[in-house]
Amino acid sequence: MARTPSMQPTDGELEILNVLWDAGPVDLGTVRAALQSKRAVASTTVATMLKLMLDKGLVERADGPKGYLWSARVSRKSARSGLVGKLLDLAFDGSAQGLVAHMLEAGKLSPRDRDEIRRLLDEKSEKPRSKKREADA
């Protein structure tokens, strides 16, 4: 039985998506050059990956002056949500608290990161209160 393609990008597909999110619609050569700066990769490999990503609905292509122009069809936010959700489920039994605790214990959060997380938590905890206050008024 053939496997159905996953809508979740692979590591290699995510590398390509990052190029497309950062650079906008670009040709194959631009994608390859961006990947080449990190590791050796053949144009045929990039072309094959882009075709597979097109079939999965991760990218789209349009006719350009010298071939196709490729762009991301999924947003960075959407891809991140799926990847983080998968990570939470597989590695932390769905516990966001477990992930944050791990990041803290592993020393992966800088003081700036911690401050930003505190700010986001404060912001989120203030919103429900203000809605309740409006309802009480």
Query: How far apart (Å, rounded) are the C-alpha atoms in residues 88 and 96?
Result: 7
CA 29-40-11 angle, to 5 degrees, is 85
CA–CA gap between residue 125 and residue 93 (Å, rounded)? 24
CATH of span 11-72: 1.10.10.10
First to last CA, the chain: 61
Q: What pTM, to 2 d.p., does this model score?
A: 0.76
Is 104 a residue whose pLDDT tops 70? yes
pLDDT of residue 135 exceeding 70, the answer is no
Q: Quick: pLDDT tens for 31-46.
A: 999 999 999 999 999 9
- Give CA–CA dist 91/109, Å, rounded: 18
Spatial separation of the C-alpha atoms in residues 49 and 11, rounded to whole Å: 11
pLDDT, tens digit (0-9, with 9 covering 90-100), for 20-75: 999 989 999 999 999 999 999 999 999 999 999 999 999 999 999 989 999 999 99
* pLDDT value at residue 24: 86
pLDDT, residue 133, reads 52
DSSP, collapsed to helix, strand or coil, labels residue 100 as helix
Q: Give the H/E segment covering residue 53.
A: helix 43-56
Domain boundaries of the chain, sorted by first residue: 11-72, 85-136
